[in-house]
Structure 1
Amino acid sequence: MPKVSDAHRAARRHEIATAALRCFARKGFAATSMSDIIAESGLSAGAIYGHYKSKDELITLAITEVLDLRLGELESAREQTPMPAPGEIVRIVMSGMQGELGSLSILVQIWAHAAVEPAVGATLAKVGDRVKGIFHDYLRAWYLKELKLPADDAERAAQLYSGLYVGIVQGFIVQSSIFTHFDSEAYLEAASSILPVAGPGAAQLSPADLSR
């Protein structure tokens, strides 16, 4: 039997995860069963369980893979001159996640499930740490490149503000899922206007200064 390549396995896992996300969007997380996911994917039960042991594992790993796809976009942003302001990264992350997940309400459903399932909560906490790490790394690079802060100051500022940006992302997800008249563009514009300045003289910088 020919050996299955890592690329093939990754493609199959993504195929299964995408099928699961379609089911969750259509039926809701709690109402979706593994049988639903198997039927949606068109694969055998053995093929599904060969990659994911349970629905809980499937959704948490699927979200992790979605985040991995966003990392490439953020790496590209870090290579731009000037780098996009940190608030623009919120737009990049949210646009990418909406494209992959379809409905961000899936995340709210999963958070509710995690609140009563400790194992799922522990896994999602790791996902949250990864999101915070994404913003930390970007902020640190932005402080170094755009604000010319010393490395130690850039690191401290990145640690200070990275959690704030996780909150901005979570706020977008919750409000877009719950509020009927949520204005996503206004929210993203507001996020883009926030400049997490730090260090001597940085407080005097404005969005217009950084766009010059």
Structure 2
Amino acid sequence: MARVSQEHLDARRRQILDGAARCFARSGFHATSMQDVLDEVGLSNGAFYRYFRSKDELIAAIATDVFTFTRLTFENAAQADPLPPDVLLGRILHGVYDSRLSAAHPDRQGLPRLVVQVWAETLRNPKLLALLGDGDDGMRAAWARLIQAYQEQGRIHTDVSADQIARTLIVVGRGFALENAMFGDFEVDDLITGLRGLMAMVAVEDGQVARRA
């Protein structure tokens, strides 16, 4: 019998992940049966269980895939010339939502809906919550290091902690995913333009309007 190459195995695993992600984005984790997934990817039970032992393992693999890709996108964007946080956040979101993860879905709401499903699943799955929590801590620390560098350069005020700003940026990214999961009409560039407007908010001092530094 011919030996199956690792490339073939990886491609088949990706086929399963993409197909399951489409099913879960459409109907949610618990309304989607394993037969739904098998029909989506055109595989038998035996072929599927060669790659994943259970539905929970499949869900964890999808969550890990999304988060790992997001982290790598952040790392790649952060290696470029120093960028303001709003610009960097825009590059990260473009990198994720213009990627193969999004291309696996037939409509622009697919990936955001999948991401929201993953978040909801953490409320009942402690292992998944711990998995994403560890990744989230790493992302938060990476953002904080970047903010600290800006503060040392005098580009960001130091009266707010780097960790608070880092966490806020992560929350903004999550809000963007939720907005698009529900309505699908909020563009990355619109988000960044809005953030830039907030960052340039004017202050009123002694009846005079002055643009904040």
Mapped to 2, the partners of 1:136 and 1:92 lie a distance apart of: 18
The TM-score normalised by the length of structure 1 is: 0.68
| Closer, same or farther: CA 157–109 of 1 in aligned 2, 3 Å | same
Match of 1:143 in 2: 148
Tell me the matched-pair count. 187
**CA gap 1:167/1:12 in 2 versus in 1, 3 angstroms:** same
Q: Please show how residues 85-96 of structure 1 align to structure 2 within 5 Å.
A: 85-96=84-95
Structure 1 unaligned residues grouped into runs of 5+: 196-204, 207-212
* Kept after mapping to 2: 8 A contact 1:90/1:191: no
**Matches of 1:31 and 1:178 in 2, distance apart?**
18
RMSD over aligned Cα atoms: 3.4
CA distance in 2, matches of 1:181, 1:79: 30
For structure 2, the residue ranges without an aligned partner over 5 or more in a row are 200-211
Residues 58-98 of structure 1: per-residue CA shift (max 9 Å, x gap): 123212112322333333322222x2222233323333443
Query: Which residue identity does 1:163 align to in structure 2?
Result: R
> What's the TM-score once normalised by structure 2's chain length?
0.68
CA 42–96 in structure 1, closer or farther in 2 if over 3 Å, else same: farther
Is residue 35 of structure 1 aligned with residue 40 of structure 2?
no
Give, in whole Å, the separation in 2 of the partners of 1:46 and 1:191: 49
Within-5 A mapping of 1:48-67: 48-67=48-67
Letter in 1 for 2:134: D
What CA distance in whole angstroms lies between the structure 2 residues aligned with 1:18 and 1:68?
Answer: 15
- Deviation, 1:13, is 2.5
Alpha-carbon distance, 1:108 to partner: 2.3
Q: Does 1:21 align with 2:21?
A: yes
Q: Is the 8 A contact 1:108 1:174 kept in 2?
A: yes
Higher Cα radius of gyration: 2
Contact 2:179 2:186 in 1 (8 A): yes
Match of 1:178 among 168, 175, 182: 182
Partners in 1 of 2:187 and 2:9 — Cα distance? 39
Distance 2:133 2:195 in 1: 19
Correspondences of 1:1-12 after superposition (within 5 Å): 2=3, 4-5=5-6, 8-12=8-12
